[in-house]
Amino acid sequence: MAEAIHVTATVRVPASALRSHAVRASGPGGQNVNKVSTKIDLRVDLGAVEGLSDAARARLLELARHRLDAEGRLVITSQATRNQVRNLDEARARVAALVRAALTPPTPRVKTAPRPGARHRRLAGKKRRADVKRLRAKPGDSD
């Protein structure tokens, strides 16, 4: 049985929310790839994560929206190494990193206005461009 993932002192993913399954990995590996199941398919029930506020839970669902299966569980796969235990550890670390990322609220956008010099340079450039186009016109042509 898998053990819980402790993200912070108050936030954890209980063991009951984790389901891991070992499957055969793709890619090179010779005969080893055909007989050893080293790829890890870790599924996490995000509703069971303990210690999340409503806002953090919403951010977590938003971050994980493209990695959800039909039942709404987070799907993390790992086949980075040729060792099943290390792949499981890496998948668990990725789950913890995703939950940790959901804990930090996004920084609010601060509206800024262009500086007067920048505004002047932009308008001067527009004026130069308009003059170039005006000088291309045939004499006597007017709108």
Q: Which fold has domain 5-103?
A: Double Stranded RNA Binding Domain (3.30.160)
60, 105 in Cβ contact below 8 A? Answer: no
pTM above 0.75, yes or no: no
d(CA 82, CA 104): 33
Instruction: Tell me the mean pLDDT in the region 112-141.
Output: 93
Assign 96 to helix, strand or coil: helix
pLDDT band of residue 29 (cuts 50, 70, 90) is low
Compute the radius of gyration of the chain from its Cα atoms.
27
d(CA 37, CA 29): 12
